[in-house]
Amino acid sequence: MRTINLLFINICIIVLSFGQTKEKMVLDGNSEYEKGLELIKEAQSISADSSRQLEADAIMQQAISKFSKAEVNYKKAKEKEQDYLEAEFNLGDALHKQARYEDSRKKFENIISRPNISPQVKSGAHHNIGNSYLEEFLKDPQNKSDKLDQSIESYKNALRANPADNDARYNLEYARKLKQQQQQQQQQQQQDQNKQENKEKQEQEQQQDKDKKDNEQKQDKQQEQENKEDKEKQKQEQKKDEMTKEEAERMLEALKNKEEKLQEDRKEKKVGGRIIIEKDW
């Protein structure tokens, strides 16, 4: 990956006195800014060794401190002259290096809105705005995806102002490739999501079919059990009816025997201890 460099205005003047002129303040700011850049290079070379990561982090903090000092100097220069272009432009860079991207963009937007600025300066301001958007995206692609689109548009604006800005052209192509990768990832994620949803839907339908079959089998078993119970009940009722018939026959038989006995008793009567057999005529 090519380093995304900020465009920087480095003024070349001869300081005739040691007084705190606005030019001297900008030069002091530039000096601190350059020291910060050197510290960043050192930290990046050290961070290649994972065992020295803490040392690299400490050096990065020193770099941030240098950019903060540069910011102070640029602001002092602006106090001398509010519309001092070099101070405003480089202040935007110093804020950018401290990852204060929104504050940085405001400085460059102020420059763009100025009348009669050169195409090169206007292009550089758009370029740096694009860099700030792009770096925000790279730090958090998931939650800052809109920053990538904004960086692309800023690089386009830089090239509209100055078609010869090759750095802006390179960064534009780089951002477009990132956008293409982002779209491919989103498409893949959508496809994976669709597959997952289809799988879940299929599993749900299979479960519904299984539940339906289980319910049907349960109902069939229940109906079978009810039929079995009905048959058993019918058998019991039939058996009960048969028993009642047998009892009735036994009762009739008992009555018949009782009647016969009564008839016998009528024929035989005891008189004075004698048995009188009546003639049947």
pLDDT higher at 264 or 134:
134
Using one digit for the tens of pLDDT, what is the confidence trace for 24-43? 999 999 999 999 999 999 99
Region 48-73: what's the mean pLDDT?
95
Q: What is the pLDDT of residue 85?
A: 95
Share of the chain above pLDDT 70, in %: 85
Indicate the domain borders of the chain.
Answer: 21-98, 105-186
| Distance, CA of 127 to CA of 108 (rounded, Å) | 9
| Distance, CA of 154 to CA of 223 (rounded, Å) | 76
Q: What is the pLDDT of residue 229?
A: 85
pTM score: 0.67
Angle at 206 between CA 204 and CA 209, to 5 degrees: 110
Poorest-pLDDT segment among 135-139, 207-211, 277-281: 277-281
| Distance, CA of 63 to CA of 121 (rounded, Å) | 26
Fold annotation for 105-186:
1.25.40
- Beta-carbon contacts of 179 under 8 Å, excluding residues fewer than 6 positions away, are 148, 149, 152
Poorest-pLDDT segment among 20-34, 42-56, 78-92, 217-231: 217-231
Burial of 30 (0-12, 13-18, 19+ CB in 10 A): buried
Using one digit for the tens of pLDDT, what is the confidence trace for 116-162? 999 999 999 999 999 999 999 999 999 999 999 999 999 999 999 99
Buried/exposed code over 105-135 (b: 16+ C-beta within 10 A; e: otherwise): bebbeebbeeeebeeebbbbbbbbbbbbbbb
Question: If pLDDT is split at 50, 70 and 90, which confidence band does 277 have?
Answer: very low
Q: What is the pLDDT of residue 72?
A: 97
Using one digit for the tens of pLDDT, what is the confidence trace for 93-114? 999 999 999 999 999 999 999 9
Question: If pLDDT is split at 50, 70 and 90, which confidence band does 275 have?
Answer: very low
Region 254-273: what's the mean pLDDT?
69
| Distance, CA of 129 to CA of 82 (rounded, Å) | 21
73: how many CB neighbours lie within 10 A of its CB? 24
Asked whether residue 5 carries a pLDDT value surpassing 80, the answer given is no
| Distance, CA of 99 to CA of 39 (rounded, Å) | 16
- Beta-carbon contacts of 184 under 8 Å, excluding residues fewer than 6 positions away, are none
Closest CA to 63 of 44, 91, 78: 44
Question: If pLDDT is split at 50, 70 and 90, which confidence band does 268 have?
Answer: low
- Angle formed by the axes of helices 53-80 and 85-97, nearest 10°: 160
Locus of tokens 């070099």: 86
Using one digit for the tens of pLDDT, what is the confidence trace for 175-188? 999 999 999 988 89
Q: What is the pLDDT of residue 90?
A: 96
